[in-house]
Structure 1
């Protein structure tokens, strides 16, 4: 287990040479807490000066009111993250749901259309994205030191954030014991067109991320190709069918296109999840896959599946 000695970066040792398609792991970089805002006894906003990102990043943490060592669950946002807070706390009952649970829920704020990865080049519209370095090298020792983290980590996310969670878990298997995706497609090759479109639709140049599709960096960020590196982890995936269900009339901060395209988007996600599930089964890697007969690409369903995922994740994290 990793254990921090303070709010500074520590060396993260990667599994070099395990698989040719895996790039060198992110090097540790200095980072520090600028300040912490206490929102409640169980919620804090941590402002981290990131050397990798070249700016201060807000990270909200849901945590127990008392002390004591506990694991951390990094929970990533979708394509359009919330402003001033994670959409998980704005659109779901995550804060109330995790109250009293012995876990830190770590919610990075920002990262629009970034896929929470290290981009090859700064983007004129989306700026500097070194999220992999921030999330895997800079942030964990800070969270462990400031919030009694015990070095046991899980990572999850919805849609784009779920894709990123599986990418990070496959690229840094030593760091995460559990991984979850809510309406996420962990097959980068299958989702390449959608990834390119989603970045471009937010004004970014997707070639600045991993280069053109088919380049080595796309393969190096494909959990389907690196699925063996997920063996031994608690794995959770959920998907709806795209057929409208019980939550369609609820008002939530959906992505604008999801009001119309939430059904077709989820249909595509479902096909990807089925393909990834078959990949895991072919390798004999256990996973909990929740398929719903209804459900679109929208927040109320992600709240439901966050609840559904927690028993498995809690067991995997020892929470």
Structure 2
């Protein structure tokens, strides 16, 4: 059974830094599947698959959003039998920029000897991968919860002959999303890993974080997502408030503390300006996610819901730490899907 580890000695010291998030731009980093309703299954479809070997791109038409979404798929080492699937989501940029798992980490080589389908949608920048209440003039129509829980899984299962057993992992913005996706579709994911996500959405700090992503970076209107500040949707999409609904899903949750660590160096950041951006802005953002993660950890503990909670001793909001998180969480994720 996974253990709940809590730490948070630096939380109070970082509260002031987290508050600065309201005025700083975000760093540029960034069981069996449940069946979808028949109408959604028939309307959504895989239009084509491009590529060869184990690295391919499926172009999936989403009926709910009326558009085609590229989906990166890394096939298992051995495809002679049905294999499980890991949905690995990109961060705030949705994979539409250069801040992706494929470009910033070793996922291709890490999964080269593993019998799992690794699936990463491309799109949905700054959308929180949720179903928006209204179409947005900047971001358009967003029905990502519908896509990721109802439309995409049965198509992936059919096209790639999977065994229908799923897990999900994500970073930053989508570190919030994966928790809400697990809540929205009980049983669809055996396990969920959230790296440097802010699990709170209905608190003042949680709303400020979301507003920075959606409005400051995305140029959209946050009211189009979950309505006005007092709209019930903000609470309905708060994983801390709704933590009881995570019971039964194996959880891995991590955050650094915002202080420079092993991956905050000139070589990995590309020079002085990159290091300054990662250490300063990335430090503030990770300080905020530490507070969110600590609050989620406490709530899970109160409810007696087991989780692995990894408070890294140091580290900013950046890819080197997320690669480490993926490596550390993989044994738990793998075991949950039968590997």
Is 1:116 the counterpart of 2:155 in the alignment? Answer: no
Is 1:196 the counterpart of 2:211 in the alignment? Answer: yes
Partner SS, residue 150 of structure 1: coil
Shift of 1:234: 1.0
Is 1:64 the counterpart of 2:79 in the alignment? Answer: no
Contact 1:67 1:148 (C-alpha < 8 Å) held by counterparts:
no
**Which residue in the other structure is 2:238 paired with?**
222
Q: 2:258 aligns with which of 233, 236, 242?
A: 242
**Which residue in the other structure is 1:148 paired with?**
161
Is 1:301 the counterpart of 2:329 in the alignment? Answer: no
CA distance in 2 between counterparts of 1:86 and 1:233 reads: 28
**Which residue in the other structure is 1:17 paired with?**
none
Shift of 1:247: 0.9
Shift of 1:85: 7.8
Partner SS, residue 48 of structure 2: strand
Partner SS, residue 203 of structure 1: coil
CA distance in 1 between counterparts of 2:202 and 2:190 reads: 24
Q: 1:280 aligns with which of 300, 308, 315?
A: 300
Is 1:96 the counterpart of 2:116 in the alignment? Answer: no
Shift of 1:3: 6.3
Partner SS, residue 38 of structure 1: strand
Partner SS, residue 306 of structure 1: helix
Equivalent residue runs for 1:124-203 within 5 Å: 124-190=137-203, 191-201=206-216, 202-203=218-219
**Which residue in the other structure is 2:27 paired with?**
none
Shift of 1:259: 6.0
Give 5+ residue unaligned stretches, structure 2: 1-30
CA distance in 1 between counterparts of 2:322 and 2:316 reads: 10
CA distance in 1 between counterparts of 2:139 and 2:59 reads: 20
Decide whether aligned partners of structure 1 residues 193 and 3 sit closer, same or farther in structure 2, where only a CA change above 3 A counts.
Answer: closer
* Count of aligned pairs: 300
Contact 2:182 2:249 (C-alpha < 8 Å) held by counterparts:
no
**Partner deviation per Cα, 1:145-195 (whole Å, 9 max, x = no partner):** 112221211122101111000011012112111111010122222312110
Partner SS, residue 265 of structure 1: helix
**Which residue in the other structure is 1:45 paired with?**
57
Contact 1:179 1:234 (C-alpha < 8 Å) held by counterparts:
yes
Q: Point out which structure has higher relative CO (alpha carbons under 8 A, 6+ apart).
A: 2
Structure with the largest fraction of helix? 2
- Aligned-CA RMSD value: 2.3
Decide whether aligned partners of structure 1 residues 291 and 300 sit closer, same or farther in structure 2, where only a CA change above 3 A counts.
Answer: same
Partner SS, residue 149 of structure 1: coil
Contact 1:152 1:177 (C-alpha < 8 Å) held by counterparts:
yes
Runs (4+) of structure 1 exceeding 4 A deviation are 1-4, 26-29, 256-259
Shift of 1:27: 6.6
Shift of 1:257: 6.2
Partner SS, residue 70 of structure 2: strand
TM-score (norm: length of structure 1): 0.88
Contact 1:46 1:58 (C-alpha < 8 Å) held by counterparts:
yes
TM-score (norm: length of structure 2): 0.83
Greater shift in the superposed pair: 130-139 or 72-81: 72-81
**Which residue in the other structure is 2:222 paired with?**
206
Contact 1:74 1:155 (C-alpha < 8 Å) held by counterparts:
yes
Partner SS, residue 36 of structure 1: strand
Shift of 1:81: 2.9
**Partner deviation per Cα, 1:181-227 (whole Å, 9 max, x = no partner):** 01012222231211022101120000000101231111111111221
Decide whether aligned partners of structure 1 residues 49 and 123 sit closer, same or farther in structure 2, where only a CA change above 3 A counts.
Answer: same
Give 5+ residue unaligned stretches, structure 1: 13-25
Contact 2:166 2:191 (C-alpha < 8 Å) held by counterparts:
yes
